[in-house]
Amino acid sequence: MGHLFDKIMDVLQLIVLIGSVLTLAKTAVKVAKTPEKSQNDRIRALEIRVDKIAERLEDGDRHFTMIDDGTVITQQCILAMMDALINGDNTTELKAKRDLMQTYLLKRGIK
């Protein structure tokens, strides 16, 4: 009878050992995946930040394009005024540049 009891105890110990190994393996997998989750969260946050920066850059590019357009028109108007002052009578070009400036300012909602 003692021999049978030892065999049953051996089987029970083996079952407990297998359960412990499975629990340990499950814990190891969970610990191994934790950095992956935190890295994914960090990458997601960085992607959102990069998207916001890219959007700001696009807004800046549009802004600088509008400034460049305004600068060109302003320079054309100044040149027309200089021509009118030098030539004394170049009102056709001066009126055309005035109309161009008015159109530009109306589009911008300034005037």
In a domain, 78, yes or no: yes
In a domain, 22, yes or no: no
Identify the band that residue 28 occupies on the pLDDT scale cut at 50, 70 and 90.
confident
Domain containing 46: what range?
Answer: 32-108
In a domain, 71, yes or no: yes
Q: Tell me, what's the pLDDT at 110?
A: 64
Q: How many domains does the chain have?
A: 1
The helix/strand/coil state of 26 is helix
What is the sign, positive or negative, of the torsion defined by CA atoms of 7, 9, 11, 13? negative
In a domain, 103, yes or no: yes
How is residue 88 annotated by DSSP? S
pTM, 2 dp: 0.44
In a domain, 102, yes or no: yes
Quick one: how far is CA 19 from the chain centroid? 48
In a domain, 62, yes or no: yes
Token pair in block for residue 63: 């802004």
User: What is the per-residue pLDDT across 75-85, written as a single tens digit (0 to 9) for each?
Assistant: 888 877 877 77
In a domain, 101, yes or no: yes
